[in-house]
Amino acid sequence: MSAPAGRPAAIVFDAYGTLLDVHAAVARHAARLGPAAAAVSALWRQRQLEYSWIHSATDTYEDFATLTARALDHAMAAHGIADPALREDLLAAYRRLDAFPDAAPALAALRQAGLATAILSNGEPAMLDEAVREAGLAPLLDAVLSVHPLRLYKPRAPVYALATDRFGCAPGAIAFVSGNAWDGFGAARFGFRVFSLARSPQPIEYGLDRLAEARIASLAELPAMLAGAGA
């Protein structure tokens, strides 16, 4: 991994899986799902991402809320669960995901150090706004950027350009933080300084041992790494 490159113009975060716990929706209704709860949550997330990649690869688009609902339908059907009320409750819970415990303190520390903070997400604007507000993160962010106006998904390059356009800087001035390795790879290829988040031990993917500036186990590591860099 390369040496630190100085104080960034902005710290840009992925939302789902980085600041927001994508498994929190199922966790709230685990008793109703029974023994299949963990498997349903994992398949829901897997299909949600796969659907976004296929749409981008084929230059077609449906918004992330639609893909999220479609992925849940698949996950429930795959496990033989037919419960319309539970489906609606899970989708509602997904719009109000819990923030990871390290999210708000890290954002607050970065803001206190005078650094701009933002989200860059596949989420469509309404679901993102609700999620950020309900998680208590809205006051800690300078911008919430959605792919929706582009009708493209990560890891397409124009998505990452939303951040450089918003902050009026070159890619190398953006520190990008993601708990999704494929997203980190796309961001690194675009030219961002990538901080690859792995809250639990897992193999390094996509060459991020070479492409990422750092691999972190918690967002709590970021303020010390970035707030004083080059100051």
Give 119's strand partners: 13, 144
Contacts of 12 (CB under 8 A, 6+ apart): 117, 118, 119, 120, 145, 163, 174, 175, 176, 177, 192
- Number of helices (H), then strands (E), in the chain: 11, 6
Half-sphere exposure of 50 (CA within 13 A, CB side): 11
pTM of the model: 0.93
Bridge-based pairing state of the strands 10-13 and 174-178? parallel
Q: State both tokens at 159.
A: 């998505």
Q: State both tokens at 224.
A: 């010390």
The whole-number pLDDT of residue 97 equals 98
The whole-number pLDDT of residue 230 equals 45
The whole-number pLDDT of residue 177 equals 98
Q: Which of 14, 21, 102, 183 is labelled catalytic?
A: 14
Grouped pLDDT means (10 residues each) for the chain, 231 residues: 67 98 97 97 98 96 98 98 97 97 98 96 97 97 98 97 98 97 98 96 92 96 80 40
Q: Are 40 and 26 in contact (CB under 8 A)?
A: yes
The whole-number pLDDT of residue 70 equals 98
8: left (phi over 0), alpha (psi -120 to 50) or beta: beta
Domains and CATH numbers, the chain: 10-20+97-227 (3.40.50.1000), 24-94 (1.10.150.240)
Find where tokens 């609606």 sit: 88
The whole-number pLDDT of residue 228 equals 67
Contacts of 206 (CB under 8 A, 6+ apart): 181, 182, 184, 185
Task: For residue 83, indicate whether it is catalytic.
Answer: no
Quick check: helix, strand or coil at residue 130?
A: helix
The whole-number pLDDT of residue 1 equals 37
Q: Are 116 and 11 in contact (CB under 8 A)?
A: yes
Rounded-to-integer distance, Cα 90 and Cα 151, Å: 25
